[in-house]
Amino acid sequence: MSPVPLILWMVAVAHTVLAGRVCPRPPEIPLATVDIKKEEYNLGEEITYSCNPGYVPQSGSRRFTCPLTGRWPIVTLRCIPKKCSYPGPLNNGKIHYTHLSYQSLVSFSCDAGYILQGHKTSQCLADGQWSEKLPECQSVICPPPPVSPFGALFYLRLKPGNILVFQDVVKFECLSPLALFGNETAKCLANGSWSALPECRSVQCPHPVQVENGYINLAVRRTYQYNENVTYGCYPPYVLDGPAVSKCDKTGNWSIKPTCRAPCTIPVKRATVLYNEQKVKLQDHFRDGIQHAETIWFFCKNKEHHCSYTVPAQCKDGTLSVPPCFKERGWFSSLVKTDVADLTPCESIN
């Protein structure tokens, strides 16, 4: 047989063989479908897999062609659930979830003192969106504090606004002359109630007690109400030790009782002393002594270095002690000898 007829015969045989071959139904892939569904597919015919709604391809090819062998190649396509973005943050609340993928559910809760406004749950949809909008956690609202119907106890807002919400604080005051007992402030609690409220009570103090060598300005012999005050003074040359004003406090007692302190005579006839940083003659300036709490400085002599130093002496309620180092000089001695106060200060020598 010549070559040409042989070739034609072989082509005809191959055509007959191939014409009898087809591809069967393609393999089933979980969560995916084929675009063309048939029982048989011709050689060279193409199919495409698509993941079901809510799923996306993770690996493997999606397109396949029926080969000459009539057998579909191994399909490695895998579809996984589509993910939704994190729905938060939820201010003053929490988002509870296990997964953020298609058909997963998330739930919402609010912190103590806040109420959920919106849906409690939301589901991840096939398009990657959430089924419900993110809710809000709104503050618990407290009603106005239950104050006295007669206005004896009233409150002040510590921040602007028409409503009082969780953690807001109000300050209480009482109408004069009533005294406030308990906390001056109250806080709006998580359950919508208020922390402990104070109360207003009437308080009276007895007539203030006189002080020795002193007086009370315009004192009337009566009981005094809370927060009323009196002013103390002393007869000269006594001076007041303590605050001049005493107030009736909520315990029914006076806040203080000052004392009138006595002046001090100076048991020295002649000396130069330091007073208000000035050298003065004691016999010229302090014939009546000095008042309580005043201080004068005596000059003492350092015999070794022939210099002077000062030592303070303070009047304490009629008592003044002259420093032991001070030596008083007589009238004649003061004429012939240099005054200790005129010696070179010892600190200048050192």
Give mean pLDDT, residues 111-134: 97
Matching CATH number, 22-81, of 2.10.70.10, 3.90.1150.10, 3.30.565.10, 3.90.1140.10: 2.10.70.10
Tell me: the pLDDT tens digits for 174-209? 998 999 999 999 999 999 999 999 999 999 999 998
What's the CATH fold of domain 204-261?
Complement Module; domain 1 (2.10.70)
Tell me: the pLDDT tens digits for 148-165? 767 788 889 888 888 999
Matching CATH number, 141-201, of 2.10.70.10, 1.10.357.10, 3.30.70.1150, 1.10.10.60: 2.10.70.10
Q: Grade residue 249 by pLDDT with cuts at 50, 70 and 90.
A: very high
Burial class of residue 232, CB neighbours in 10 A (0-12, 13-18, 19+) = buried
Matching CATH number, 93-139, of 3.20.20.70, 3.40.50.150, 3.50.50.60, 2.10.70.10: 2.10.70.10
Mean pLDDT score across all residues of the chain: 89
Q: Residue 332 pLDDT more than 80?
A: no
- Record the pTM: 0.62
- Which residue type, as a one-letter code, is found at position 14? A
Residue 13 CA: distances (Å) to CA of 2, 6, 213, 264, 335: 17, 11, 145, 146, 160
Tell me: the pLDDT tens digits for 269-313? 888 999 999 999 988 888 889 999 999 999 999 998 899 999 999
